[in-house]
Amino acid sequence: MPLLRTAEQELLLRSARNALALGNLAEALDLFDSYLLQLPDDQEVRVEYAGLLVREGRMGRAKEMYEEAIAVRPDDTVLRRSMADVLIMGGEYAAATRQLEAIVEREPENLDAAAMLCRTWTWLKDFERAQGVFDRYLRKLDPSIEADQLLLAPVLLDMQQPKAALPYLERLHRRFPRELRWATHMVLCYELTGQAERAAKTVEAKAD
């Protein structure tokens, strides 16, 4: 059943969105906050507000908004992924794994979430669990497919398997030469595999 808004609530929401469109972020935040105080059950607007809070770097408040929304919609994997991203940005990796695990349990085909879960376990130095996630969800990826390379390369690097990651990173660097992250990862792989000269040449090429 759709939420019924009063004329005042409609005006508040419209004003919040207009302020956001005009780049008046502080005003937009205040207006969204006022709206949700009047209509706290509007989960769609709560999620919209949470996204704005993330943009403004107010992670603690954004986390509260996502927590309240997930309490109402626990099966919403998009919400849980947004929450996981906020937790990761805040360095709360253990809490992030719980959100990501809930996603892959419900959607085992969600390989992006599985890859992030694998990486998050490595950031917690739990390589055994990371390997378990990789074996269960990611081992079936096809290295010849670009979309799968995008998932595999950072996962393998975080799992401390630079030799395995390097071929994918080299392909991605050739495919996206302007994206600094692939060059940076590739340099790290060269250094970890004892190829200091190739690492130096890659850095020099990017500097030019």
Please check the confidence at residue 206 and state whether its pLDDT lies above 80.
no
Backbone conformation region of residue 107, classed left if phi is above 0, alpha if psi is from -120 to 50, else beta: beta
What is the pLDDT, as a whole number, of residue 143? 87
Residues 6+ apart with CB under 8 A from 10: none
Q: What confidence tens digit (pLDDT) does each residue in 49-95 have?
A: 999 999 888 999 999 999 999 999 999 999 999 999 999 999 999 99
Q: What confidence tens digit (pLDDT) does each residue in 169-205 have?
A: 999 999 999 999 999 999 999 999 999 999 999 888 8
Handedness of CA 153, 156, 159, 164 (dihedral sign): negative
Average pLDDT over residues 15-43: 92
* Whether the Cβ atoms of residue 169 and residue 153 lie closer than 8 Å to each other: yes
What is the pLDDT, as a whole number, of residue 100? 98
**Considering the chain, what is the average pLDDT of its residues?**
93
* Concatenated DSSP letters of 68-107: HHHHH-TT-HHHHHHHHHHHHHTT-HHHHHHHHHHHHHH-
What is the pLDDT, as a whole number, of residue 204? 87
Please return the burial class of 123, using the count of CB atoms within 10 Å of its CB with bins 0-12, 13-18 and 19+: middle
Lowest-pLDDT range, 1-15, 28-42, 127-141, 145-159?
1-15
Average pLDDT over residues 129-150: 94
Q: How far apart are the first and last CA of the chain?
A: 59
Percent of the chain at pLDDT above 90? Answer: 87
Give the integer Cα–Cα distance in Å for 47 and 32.
11
Handedness of CA 197, 198, 202, 203 (dihedral sign): negative
How many Cα neighbours within 13 Å face the side chain of 180?
3
**Which two tokens mark 129?**
């669990």
pLDDT band for 208, please (50, 70, 90 cuts): low
pLDDT band for 29, please (50, 70, 90 cuts): very high
Please check the confidence at residue 149 and state whether its pLDDT lies above 70.
yes
Looking at the chain, how many residues does it have?
208
* Whether the Cβ atoms of residue 116 and residue 133 lie closer than 8 Å to each other: no
Q: What confidence tens digit (pLDDT) does each residue in 94-137 have?
A: 999 999 999 999 999 999 999 999 999 999 999 999 999 999 99
Please check the confidence at residue 1 and state whether its pLDDT lies above 60.
no
